[in-house]
Amino acid sequence: MAEEEETELSDDQKKGIAKWFLVNAPAGEIQYVSRDLKLVLNDDDVYNEAASEAFPVFNKCHLISLKMPGGFGDVLVTSYGELQDNEYLDPKTAQVAIVDHVKQACTKVRPATDEELPSAYVEEYRCALEAEILKYVAEAYPKGSCSVYCTNGKDVEEPGSDFDLVVVIAAARLSPQNFCNGSWRTIWNIEFKDDIQKLELNGKLQVGAHYFEEGNVQLDTKHECRDSTMFQSPDDTAISVANLIRRHETAYMASLEESYFKLSDNTFKDLRRKLPITRTLFPWRSTRQFSLKREISEELGIGK
């Protein structure tokens, strides 16, 4: 029977595969992946289409931080600050960064308009919360970035109406020369409910790590949590919310550390069959009593 002829992939199929690899690249590695994909595809048109669609998705998903020209500091690339194509608001400086997604660079900035910024009333709460989050991030994440955005009710001028803020925290530790990269991303949605004088917090935490020295080991873990606090003055509200975020994130980090300390004792053992072929439990706590050389010698009759 004649062998079936291989079907050539269409340009759309190639683009779809290339996009998948780019979007799913580990933190800090999309440029390496894109370089290799460009060589494999050997088609600039297909690569450029895939890159133009994949890079914005990757950058927003990984909450990358880019340096703004003019000494304005860094801007987080996130959907919460996205105004239109390639324009991202930095609430701290009231600047709008124009971003080249494929180059992962901020090309220029412009002042934000009044319509793009929250009202003075909402800004008082946003600014106070951002100040507390900046302190927390400086302590907990040496190379971390954060921003606080108003996602709903930015035109509220006085007490009596609800509005929403979002806290975005991102930190990455990239060390490709040591074959490992990692990232920490958290998003906290905060609903300010004026009628019941209460704040509802919904947090989404995501941790990723990639170790690739003579192998390929990846970690991608997610966690969600909820909490609430009283609607108070801007400064008191900011302190209360920052303390809640600190408590939840610290607890989650501690749980991760504990689970990986136990990894070798529990998880790796569970990967083995419960009983070997001999139907005899392996004595994990007294492995020194076994001599591989002696067992092999006895099995093969060596020395008899």
- Report whether 123 contacts 232 (CB < 8 A): no
For residue 11, pLDDT beyond 70: yes
166: left (phi over 0), alpha (psi -120 to 50) or beta: beta
Question: Which has the higher per-residue pLDDT, 268 or 229?
Answer: 229
Tens of pLDDT, residues 92-103: 999 999 999 999
- The confidence score (pLDDT) of residue 108 equals 94
Percentage of the chain exceeding pLDDT 70: 84
Identical fold between 9-62 and 118-269: no
* Higher-scoring residue by pLDDT: 176, 235: 235
Our CA angle for 286, 291, 294, nearest 5°, is 150
Distance CA 38, CA 34 (A): 6
Higher pLDDT, 269 or 117: 117
- Out of 3.30.70.2080, 3.40.50.2300, 1.10.10.2120, 3.30.1140.60, select the CATH number for domain 63-117: 3.30.1140.60
Where are the domains positioned within the chain?
A: 9-62, 63-117, 118-269
**Confidence at residue 71, expressed as pLDDT on a 0 to 100 scale:** 87
Residue in this structure with the two tokens 């909402």, named with its chain if needed: 122
102 touches 91 (CB < 8 A) = no
**Segment 293-303 mean pLDDT:** 55
The yes-or-no verdict on residue 2 having pLDDT over 90 is no
Q: What is the mean pLDDT of residues 98-111?
A: 96
CATH of region 118-269: 3.90.1150.210
> What is the 3-class SS of the chain, one letter each residue?
CCCCCCCCCCHHHHHHHHHHHHHCCCCCCHHHHHHHHHHHHCCHHHHHHHHHHHHHHHHHHCCCEEEECCCCEEEECCHHHEEECCEEEECCCCEEEEEECCCCEEEEEEECCHHHCCCHHHHHHHHHHHHHHHHHHHHHCCCEEEEEEEEECCCCCCCCCCEEEEEEEEEEEEEHHHCEEEEEEEEEEEEEECCCCEEEEEEEEEEEEEECCCCCEEEEEEEEEEEEEECCCHHHHHHHHHHHHHHHHHHHHHHHHHHHHCHHHHHHHHCCCCCCCCCCCCCHHHHHHCCHHHHHHHHHCCCC
Q: Which residue has the tokens 């927390």?
A: 136
pLDDT exceeds cutoff 60 at 198: yes
47, 38 Cβ separation under 8 angstroms: yes
More confidently predicted of 260 and 128: 128
For 86-95, what is the mean pLDDT? Answer: 96
Mean pLDDT for the chain overall: 88
Confidence of residue 260 (pLDDT cuts 50, 70, 90): confident
Q: How confident is the model at residue 1 (pLDDT cuts 50, 70, 90)?
A: very low
Residue from 192, 124, 112, 113 nearest 152 by CA: 192
CATH architecture of 9-62: 2-Layer Sandwich (3.30)
pLDDT tens by residue, 33-83: 999 999 999 999 999 999 999 999 999 999 999 999 988 999 999 999 999
pLDDT at 179 over 50: yes
Asked if pLDDT for residue 297 goes beyond 60, the answer is no
* Cα atoms found within 13 Å of the Cα of residue 13, Cβ hemisphere only: 4
How far is residue 283's CA from residue 302's CA, in Å, rounded to a whole number? Answer: 26
Looking up tokens 């007294």 gives 286
The residue with greater pLDDT, 7 or 33, is 33
**What integer is the mean pLDDT of 192-202?**
95
- pLDDT in the model for residue 214: 80
Q: Is 90 exceeded by the pLDDT of residue 3?
A: no
